[in-house]
Each structure stands twice: as structure tokens, then as C-alpha cells.
Amino acid sequence: MRTPPALRATALAATATVLLPLAACSGGDDGGTDRARPSAASTASPTATPRDLASQKLSWKRCSAPSEAQGSGTAPSPLPGGTAWECAFMDVPLDYGDPGGRTIELALVRARAKERDERIGSLVFNFGGPGASGVATLPSFGTAYDALRTRYDLVSFDPRGVGRSEGVVCSDDEALDARYQMDGTPDSPEEEKAFVEDLKSYTADCEKNSGEELPYVGTVNAARDMDLLRQVLGDDELYYFGISYGTELGGVYAHLFPRKVGRAVLDAVVDPTEDAEQSSLGQAEGFQLALDNFTSDCAERDDCRLTGSTSQEVEEWIAGLLAKLEKKPVPGLGERKLTQTQATTGIAASLYSQETWPLLEQGLDEADGGNGGLLLALADSLNGRSQDGRYDNSNAANTAINCADSAQRFDLERTKAALPAFREASPVFGDYLGWGLMSCTGWPVAGTWKTPDVSAPGAAPVLVIGNTGDPATPYAGAKAMAGELGEGVGVELTYKGEGHGAYNAGNSCVQKAVDGYLLDGKVPAAGTVCE
């Protein structure tokens, strides 16, 4: 349904934040929700916000180091010119159906605009996942948006359930290490039983540790939080930059609050017309396309470390390596082995950006020689594991948000029936993503929708950018989003490139179009193509 936790900006040159967990982030058949509590997303008017919360004053202070849930690390350094990153907390209702009841705090970050006299307002970012900490991510990419900071305060936040915003807690670090060492593509009754038992155990941990919050972490409530943030920041309209899952959040916001949409950009677009199975299948095709592009590049170079003189031969060699790892994992990092599942995760991690292809090539070559350390480190980056063995909460948040949203559930029989189509879509990633359909099975909260409504009649133009080589949010999603937003609202722009997202790919045509719209209000012509 969304992009597969965050590639660590400090370790990888990824464009946006994404998630491919052991069981990927989607649901499926409508069965299996009989024990679930109702979702809270549709119980309140989208405008139900207490006046005292809308008028609250934020106490901005210099940011501390990210918490463990946000990914750890050091406090963000000042931007060029000396502007410091500032952090604050904003109160929001836990349940918008009971706006005078319990509140929770959302963590915020900002860097103030350079040209205060020309300031337009606050530009709010969501980097995707779902589950990515905006408070940790925006400072990591801050210089990439320096042109936009001429007229905007750059602002991001940890959505509810993420990082320091009442972050969802599931299993502990030791249990997560064991979980990621398991076979995520079972092919025997014993492995299937272990897979299902692991899902049950993980779900039970989430319900035990965060059960009171789980009904309220979905995208609709996150969109309501963004409108409250808009009011608290003092803006009449929301200026927004959504990446990956952030495009779905932006589309839902536009549907709920069309008259409050200011200038908005959606980059690396989730297809709002696809249900969970269709979306996961599309991701299998997208990652396969990216792998094909990687293997083609490798086969064309004389210095490629991998075996094969054609793209197909290189890919067959990779498939052979994965088959060997299933039978016999190789040493990885510390006591942990590189398994077939972890290797597949590492491959996926490195396909988010063409800049990480050399790491993929090196990691595959070393794994073939018996050293799985690099591929395992790549998998760790996608699983939210730091070098000291601590996990952030991006995977837990991803599951909780996806399962609060998706009303679909897959049982074992339906999942196995879907696998042939996934294998056809991708010999490498098909099983991996197909088994991920079960990630919401048995979840204690019923989901909200089969597909989200993003229709936004009367909204200002929304610039929607699709990348033809995007593995995680395939290119077709941009056209679908533009169409669903509605005539005169969705404006599609195409980038013919590689990797996840377009603005941070370094293409001057894309950056000029985005900057021109956000800074000067110049809407690009629909159908613009950047190469």
C-alpha cells in the first residue's frame, strides 16, 4: 500500500524514507477482522478541533539529539549561515471524536526562513514510511531544501505513533534481531507455522505495549493533525511537501480540507486507486524494474564484480546467491548471519537510489565470498537498526499505521494463492512481498478503507511528480493520483530517472519546476517531462 523504515540519511544517499519489513506493509482479503476493535478514523468531523488547541503557543528550543525511537544519533548541526534547528511539541487530541478528552504531544522541528521580509509561511514536510521521523529526517536533508528556505520556514513532525509522538512500541531489540533472522519466505509447513507464530507474537507485543493508541494512529488523524499544525503555525493555508507515503497523507489532507490547500508538492507518489494486494504487486514489479536496470548497468561494464555478460545472466547469478543463502547463511555482523531474507532486504535497500548501486555490487560480491557484513548493514538501514543494536520505532509505527488504514486482511490460504502472481512479477522480490500481505492479519484494530479517498474539488493545484524508474512507488501512481485529485487540481510532472523520488535526484528541470511553484506560484504545464 505504501513504500516499504527509513534509509538512514547519514549512511545512505536515499531520496525519501521507506519500509520493507519482514512482513511488508499491506493487508489483503476482507476476512480475519472479527476480533478487531473499530478504527477511530471515521468517527469525527474533520473540523472537530478544540479552540484552545488551535491557539496554543509553541515553545521552540534548540533541538536535542534524536531519541532511540527516532533513530538515535547526534543533535542536528546548524545550517550554512548559522541557522539552528529548533524543536517543540504540539498538543493534539488522541481521539478527534472526543476533542475535549486526552491529548498527546507531537514532536516538531523547524528551520526559519532566510528572507523574513519575503516569507510566505511554513512548508511542512512528510518523508514517508509511514513511520519515518520527520524531526530526525528533515535536518539530515536540510541543505537539499535550502532554496525553499529563502521564503519558507522548513517544518516537519513525527506523526502520531512515530518517534517522540507517542511512538508505538512493539517488540524489544533482542526479539527484533531474532525476528529479522527468520525466514520471511516460508516454503515448508514448518516454516509457515513459524512465520504465522511470529506474526501473532509481534502483534501481541504491539497490543500489550501500545494498545490504547493503536486505534488512533491512522492517516486520517494524521491529516487532521496537519491542519491543526497549520493553524498553530499561523498559516491560512497548508504549504506542503510530501514524499512517498507523504503523498498519500497529502492526498487525504486535500480531500478533508480542500479549501485549506496552499501550494503542495507530492513526490514519489503512492497510487491511491490500488488496494493492498495491487499495491504490493506493483512494488514487486517496481523493484524488479530497478533490479533489471542495475543488472543491465553491471553487464555493460567491464569492471563489474558480478558474474554474467547480460542482464539476465547477472540476475540469475543473484538468484543463485540467494538460493545458496537460504540453505546456508554466511557470517554477517557480530553473531548475526546474512540470511536469504536479510540479503533480499539489503538488495531492496540499495535500489532506492542509483548512488547506492556500487554498494549493492560490492555487497553481493562479498556475500558470494562468504562475507555478508555489507548486505546485512544495508538491511539494517532499512529495518531501523543502529550499529549498537538498538531499533527505532519506524517498523512498529509502519505496521500500526498501515493496519489502522487498510481494512483488508489476508489469511494463509489467500496469501499462498496470491504468490504465483508475485513470483511472475519478480523472481527476486515476489515471495518476499507476497508473504508480506499477512502483516495485518490478526491486528487488534479494524482498518478504515480499501483505498483512500483523495478527491479534492476546489483545492489549489497540487504538483504530482512521478519517476519512471522508481522501485517503491511505481511511476503509474502519479497519473492515478493526479486523476483522483480531480481536474484542475492534480498537475502531473514526469521525471525520467532512477531511484525513489525526483526532487533530490539532482535534476535541475525537476528542481526548477518545484521551486518555481512553491516560491513563486508558477504552476508547471500539465504533462511536463524532465530528463
Query: What is the set of active-site residues?
Result: 244, 470, 500
Whole-angstrom CA distances from 27 to 227, 412, 417, 418, 505 are 28, 12, 14, 12, 31
Cis peptide before 130 (omega within 30 of 0): yes
Residue 427, classified by CB atoms within 10 Å of its CB into exposed (0-12), middle (13-18) or buried (19+), is middle
Please tell me the number of Cα atoms within 13 Å of 440 on its side-chain side.
34
Find cell 507515503 and name the residue.
245
The separation between the first and the last C-alpha atoms of the chain, rounded to the nearest angstrom, is 28
Give the separation between CA 48 and CA 224, rounded to whole angstroms: 9
Q: Within 10 Å of residue 319's Cβ, how many Cβ atoms?
A: 12
Give the separation between CA 118 and CA 149, rounded to whole angstroms: 11
Please, which residues have CB within 8 angstroms of residue 313's CB and are 6 or more apart in sequence? 299, 307
* Exposure class string for 325-353: b at 16+ Cβ within 10 A, else e: bbeebbebbeebbbbbbbbbbbbbbbbbb
Give the separation between CA 151 and CA 118, rounded to whole angstroms: 6
- DSSP H or E run through 263: strand 261-267
Q: Is 486 left (phi over 0), alpha (psi -120 to 50) or beta?
A: left
Give the separation between CA 471 and CA 270, rounded to whole angstroms: 11
Find cell 564484480 and name the residue.
305
Are 340 and 325 in contact, with CB atoms under 8 Å apart? Answer: yes
Q: Within 10 Å of residue 52's Cβ, how many Cβ atoms?
A: 9
